[in-house]
């Protein structure tokens, strides 16, 4: 084992390599690592932030949905009430109208009947007059006329 | 057999001068440079292309190591330093890659080199004391630099004589401090060197089991399976060793530098 000048060369070579690594190697790699660590950290923070935003948006959405549902049910209640009122009113109106029309019809019928009776009476009177005329003009036997008159009377009474 | 082992333990050398110190272990330097190139190529390329978006598989793998080392440094060193973490990962990457040369079957590269006309070749730079001492000395210098930087020149030298026994025990303090400072690079370099040298030696010994074996000898048929099992077990175990040694070198460097920056 001889110690010789090799040791100087080896030492210098070692120094040179260490210097090159320090100058051109290490900072790049450690820089990239630290930058990546920062990126990952930022990414995680952003993800956390996104999650929080999503939760808040979802709760807001729930709120809006609940409000809309309440409003819709209010509108429906009101509509149902209104509908009931309309139906009720229509029913009473219809009944009133029916009654009115019925009264009108009854009155008309009565008037008609009255008029018919009047007309009948007039005709009966004319008939009676005509019969009397015939009786008077031709003196016929009473027996024969009695039957005729009875018929007439029966007709009028009916 | 001894010749084989001895041959495996000789470096490819290049003499710069007459003094024994002026010799370069070409193989250690070459494989260390190779490891450095591979490490830099992968690391710098990933760094250049690194994106903070979805990373590729290679970037992911590198980032895992980077984050691991960064975590270790932040745990140990309570302060801000642009130097410690890159230094730590350089140590880990380089030492691991150099150690990894031990995983290549022990004869492949030396035999190939021999065929190409290179007589000696040792492929594990960390099994060469020069490599580990060179790195440990760099760490040693950095420790002193860190001490001066964080405490100032006055505070740094004052600590030599005042800690840990106070001003009254100045000689003892100085002695302790000098031993402490000397022991650190020594233990760093010798631990790594010892582990890798021993590991390589055991690979060589496993290789020796069938050295010069012939097909008509009975011992060949006994030794070959044993060699396979031993080689398999030791290689598997060595995966742990090379990773662990790289980690220990890195971890101790972080700890030493942190200690140097702290006031006693």
Residue B15 has pLDDT above 90, yes or no: no
Percent of chain A with pLDDT over 90: 66
**Of B65, B259, B129, residue with least CA distance to A6:** B129
CA-based R_g, chain B, Å: 22
DSSP string, B37-61: HHHHHHHHHHHHH--SSS--HHHHH
* Confidence band of B167 (pLDDT split at 50, 70, 90): confident
d(CA B226, CA B232): 10
A14–B94 C-beta distance less than 8 A: yes
Q: Where are the alpha helices (DSSP H) in chain A?
A: 6-20, 26-137, 142-157
pLDDT at A145 over 80: no
Q: Which of A14, A17, A40 is nearest to B130 (CA)?
A: A14
Structure tokens at B27: 């193989």
Instruction: Kindly name the residue from B45, B112, B187, B219 that is annotated as catalytic.
Output: B187
Looking at beta carbons, which residues of chain B come within 8 Å of A39? 52
> One of B189, B195, B219, B258 is an active-site residue; which one?
B195
Report the C-alpha gap between B28 and A6 in whole angstroms.
8
CA-based nearest distance B217→chain A, Å: 37
| pLDDT at residue A67, as a whole number | 96
| Residue A142 pLDDT | 66
Q: What is the largest CA-CA distance in chain A?
A: 196
pLDDT digit string (tens) for A35-48?
Answer: 999 999 999 999 99
Query: Which residues, 6 or more positions from B172, have their beta carbon under 8 angstroms from its beta carbon?
Result: B165
Instruction: Give the C-alpha separation, B89 to B71, whole Å.
Output: 12
Question: B69-106: per-residue pLDDT in tens?
Answer: 999 999 988 878 888 999 999 999 999 999 999 998 88
Whose CA is closest to A27, among B41, B211, B44?
A: B44
Which residues are CB-neighbours of B260 under 8 A, at least 6 positions away? B143, B144, B146, B147, B150
Beta pairing, strands B13-15 & B23-25: antiparallel
Q: H helices of B163-217, where? A: 170-208
When the pLDDT of each residue in chain A is averaged and rounded to a whole number, the result is: 90
pLDDT number for residue B264: 62
């Amino acid at each position: 084992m001889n110690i010789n000048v090799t040791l100087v060369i080896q030492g210098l070579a070692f120094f040179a390599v260490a210097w090159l690594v320090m100058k051109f190697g290490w900072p790049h790699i450690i820089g990239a690592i630290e930058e990546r660590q920062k990126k990952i950290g930022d990414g995680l923070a952003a993800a956390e932030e996104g999650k929080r935003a999503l939760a808040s948006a979802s709760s807001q959405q729930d709120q809006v949905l609940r409000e809309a549902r309440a409003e819709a049910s209010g509108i429906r209640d009101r509509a149902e009430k209104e509908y009931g009122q309309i139906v009720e009113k229509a029913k009473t109106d219809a009944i009133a109208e029916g009654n009115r029309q019925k009264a009108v019809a009854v009155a008309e019928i009565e008037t008609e009947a009255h008029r018919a009776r009047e007309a009948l009476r007039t005709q009966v009177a004319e008939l009676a007059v005509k019969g009397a005329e015939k009786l008077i003009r031709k003196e016929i036997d009473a027996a024969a006329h009695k039957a005729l008159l009875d018929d007439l009377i029966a007709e009028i009474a009916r | 057999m001894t010749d084989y082992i001895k041959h495996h333990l000789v470096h490819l050398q290049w003499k710069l001068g007459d003094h024994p110190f002026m010799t370069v272990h070409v193989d250690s330097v070459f494989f260390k440079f190779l490891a450095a190139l591979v490490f830099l190529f992968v690391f710098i390329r990933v760094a250049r292309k690194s994106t903070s978006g979805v990373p590729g598989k290679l970037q992911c793998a590198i980032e895992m190591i980077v984050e691991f080392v960064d975590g270790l440094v932040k745990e140990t060193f309570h302060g801000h330093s642009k130097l410690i973490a890159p230094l730590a990962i350089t140590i880990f990457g380089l030492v691991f890659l150099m150690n990894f040369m031990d995983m290549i079957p022990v004869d492949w590269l030396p035999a190939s080199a021999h065929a190409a006309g290179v007589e000696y070749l040792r492929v594990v730079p960390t099994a060469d004391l020069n490599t580990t001492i060179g790195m440990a000395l760099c760490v040693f210098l950095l420790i002193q630099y860190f001490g001066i930087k964080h405490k100032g020149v006055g505070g740094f030298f004052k600590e030599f004589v005042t800690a840990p026994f106070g001003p009254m025990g100045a000689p003892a303090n100085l002695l302790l401090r000098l031993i402490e400072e000397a022991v650190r690079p020594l233990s760093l370099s010798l631990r790594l060197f010892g582990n890798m040298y021993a590991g390589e030696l055991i690979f060589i010994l496993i290789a020796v089991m069938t050295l010069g074996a012939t097909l008509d000898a009975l011992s060949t048929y006994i030794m070959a399976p044993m060699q396979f099992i031993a080689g398999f077990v030791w290689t598997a175990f060595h995966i742990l060793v090379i990773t662990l040694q790289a980690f220990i070198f890195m971890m101790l460097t972080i700890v030493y530098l942190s200690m140097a920056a702290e006031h006693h």
